């Protein structure tokens, strides 16, 4: 799972995408990112300003996955923010992390014309 954060003049727009495939890779098109961004904005949970033109991407570690689970448990009954397979994705990401103990995670981003790439890479410490 990857957490995207797009700073604005007020609060950052944040959304979760993933999980990655078996190689730890997730490919998204510009249209995919724009759709997720628009969906996050449409929820109107926070007060947003104009975007700064930056995009930050984090790979969700165990602590972050626990927080995402708590958020899901708290908001699922009153929000349409979660896709139908959100919980399944959290479970898959937790399972993948449990198979990589003692590893660090990092994000590598690239752009291939209209297909930005986000990749989680595990390395032994």
Strand order in the sheet with 117-124: 25-27, 117-124, 103-110
For residue 28, the number of C-alpha atoms closer than 13 Å in the C-beta half-sphere is 22
CA 74 from chain centre, in angstroms, equals 18
**What does the pLDDT read at residue 1?**
79
Q: What is the C-alpha to C-alpha distance for residues 121 and 29, in angstroms, rounded to an integer?
A: 20
**What does the pLDDT read at residue 114?**
60
Q: Are residues 18 and 89 in contact, defined by beta-carbon separation less than 8 angstroms?
A: yes
Q: What pTM does this model have? A: 0.70
pLDDT tens for the chain, 125 residues long, are: 788 888 888 888 888 888 777 777 788 888 888 888 888 877 666 677 888 888 888 888 888 888 888 988 888 887 777 778 888 888 888 887 777 666 666 666 766 666 555 555 444 32
Classify residue 91 as left (phi > 0), alpha (psi -120 to 50) or beta.
Answer: alpha
Domain segments of the chain as ranges = 2-124
């Amino acid at each position: 799972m990857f957490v995207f954060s797009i700073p604005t003049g007020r609060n950052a727009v944040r959304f979760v995408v993933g999980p990655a495939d078996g190689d730890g890779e997730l490919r998204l098109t510009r249209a995919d990112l724009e759709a997720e961004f628009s969906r996050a904005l449409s929820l109107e949970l926070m007060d947003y300003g104009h975007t700064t033109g930056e995009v930050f991407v984090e790979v969700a570690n165990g602590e972050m996955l626990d927080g995402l689970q708590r958020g899901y448990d708290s908001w699922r009954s009153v929000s349409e923010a979660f896709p139908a397979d959100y919980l399944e994705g959290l479970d898959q990401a937790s399972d993948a992390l449990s198979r990589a103990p003692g590893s660090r995670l990092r994000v590598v981003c690239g752009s291939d014309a209209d297909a930005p790439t986000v990749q989680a890479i595990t390395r032994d410490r």
